[in-house]
């Protein structure tokens, strides 16, 4: 008989963020974010074009066409970052992210980090590294705890 394994809380929510990332419409990075407070999911977000608009899967990637390196020139992109979308989704549903933890498949760009500081999150957990690490000093100054964990196993385990 197969022995059941139970992921710890961080691995569990990082795994959920990975599933959220599957909805991404970006051709370069699939990023997912989950806002959590007291072990309850508040909102999710993934990177992609604004709701109802054509996305990169349909139109192609502007950044690839212009050979723009990752982590730079964020304004040349149809996409909204996963962290931005998690904040937007929370606000659309009247949910405060104050004191929450954001689980995200990648570390944030500095623009997203500024928004997360203003959303008053308390912790950010990731397993993937984005090309921009200027968020580190900002998080430190704002008192936001930051942790990099191992990438969670992509296999879903359950007993038959």
Q: Which residues are catalytic?
A: 83
d(CA 142, CA 118) in angstroms, rounded, equals 9
Q: What does the DSSP 8-state code read for residue 150?
A: P
d(CA 126, CA 112) in angstroms, rounded, equals 14
What is the number of H-type helices and E-type strands within the chain? Answer: 6, 7
Q: Which two tokens stand for residue 122?
A: 């308390």
Instruction: Go through 47-59 and write b for each residue having 16 or more CB atoms within 10 A of its CB, e for each that does not.
Output: bbbeeeeebbeee
Torsion of CA 110, 114, 117, 118, to 10 degrees: -170
């Amino acid at each position: 008989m197969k022995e059941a394994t139970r992921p710890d809380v961080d691995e569990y929510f990082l795994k959920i963020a990975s599933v959220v990332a599957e909805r991404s419409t970006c051709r370069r990075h699939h990023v997912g974010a989950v806002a959590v407070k007291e072990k309850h999911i508040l909102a999710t977000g993934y990177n992609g074009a604004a709701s109802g608009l054509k996305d990169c899967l349909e139109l192609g990637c502007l950044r690839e066409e212009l050979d723009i390196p990752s982590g730079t020139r964020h304004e040349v992109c149809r996409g909204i970052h996963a962290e931005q979308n998690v904040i937007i989704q929370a606000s659309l549903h009247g949910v405060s992210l104050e004191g929450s933890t954001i689980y995200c498949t990648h570390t944030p760009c500095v623009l997203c980090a500024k928004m997360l500081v203003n959303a008053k999150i308390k912790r950010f957990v990731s397993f993937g590294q984005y090309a921009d690490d200027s968020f580190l000093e900002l998080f430190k100054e704002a008192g936001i705890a930051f942790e990099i964990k191992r990438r969670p196993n992509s296999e879903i385990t359950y007993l038959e």
